Amino acid sequence: MNVTVKLVGIFQIGRFKEAVCEYPTGTSVQKVVDELLIPDPLLGIVLINDVHAGVEDLLHDGDTLCLLPFIDGG
């Protein structure tokens, strides 16, 4: 299946801003995060098709997955 992956902020460093990636059916967000070597503590927000989601959620063909860093006040 094809998933459009968008990365925000520091996640783009050494990776990409947006790419269409191919994954086996039933791939979870966590699997994508692990493959991209994004450290867990830095991952703040997961959006699937612009809706907040969790790392355990499964992706479907045609989804857009957006991974954003944490935000902290200050």
Partner 1 sequence: MKSRTSDPAAEPSSVLYTRCTVNLKSGTIHREDVPCRNLEDVLGGFGRSFQILAERNISQAYCEENPLIVNTGLLTGSSAMTGLRTYFSGYSPIKASKKGLPGAMWSTGSGNFGAKLKWAGLDELIFEGRSATPVYAVIRETPDGAQVELKPADHLLGLSTHNKMMVLQKEYANAHFATIGQAGEQWENVYFGAVGLSTDNQLKSGEDKMRFAGRGGMGSLMGYKNLLALVAQSPDKIKPLSPEIRDVNINVVKGGGAARLQPISRGGGGGTWAAYDVLQAFHAVPVNNFRPQGNDLPEQLFRERVEKQFIIKSEACYRCGITCHNNIHEKKEDGSAGAFLAKFDYEPLNLLGTNIGIHDAGQAARLIHLSDNYGMDSISLGVTVSYLLSYNERHPEKPLLNGATFGDFAKIEELVIQAGEGKLPEIGRGSKRLSESTGETSYAYHVKGLELPAYQPETNPGYAWAIAGGHMSMATYGMLTREGKSDMESWVEGITQTKLQIVGFDMIGLCKFFDITKGICTQMVVDCLKSELNLDVTTEALAAAVRRAFLRGLALELRQGYEKEEYTLPAEVWERPNTNIKLPNITSPEFIAELQQRVWEIFEPQLARLLPDS
- Whether 65 contacts 59, CB under 8 Å: yes
Give 26 or 44: the residue with its C-beta nearer to partner 1. Answer: 44
Q: What is the residue whose two structure tokens read 């200050």?
A: 74
Query: Length of the chain in residues, anyone?
Result: 74
φ, ψ at 48 (rounded to 5°): -115, 120
- Closer residue to partner 1 in complex, CB, 36/47: 47
Residues 23-52: x where in contact with partner 1 by CB under 8 A, - otherwise, as a string? ----------------xxxx-xx-x--xxx
Residue from the set 20, 24, 56, 72 that interacts with partner 1 by CB under 8 A: 72
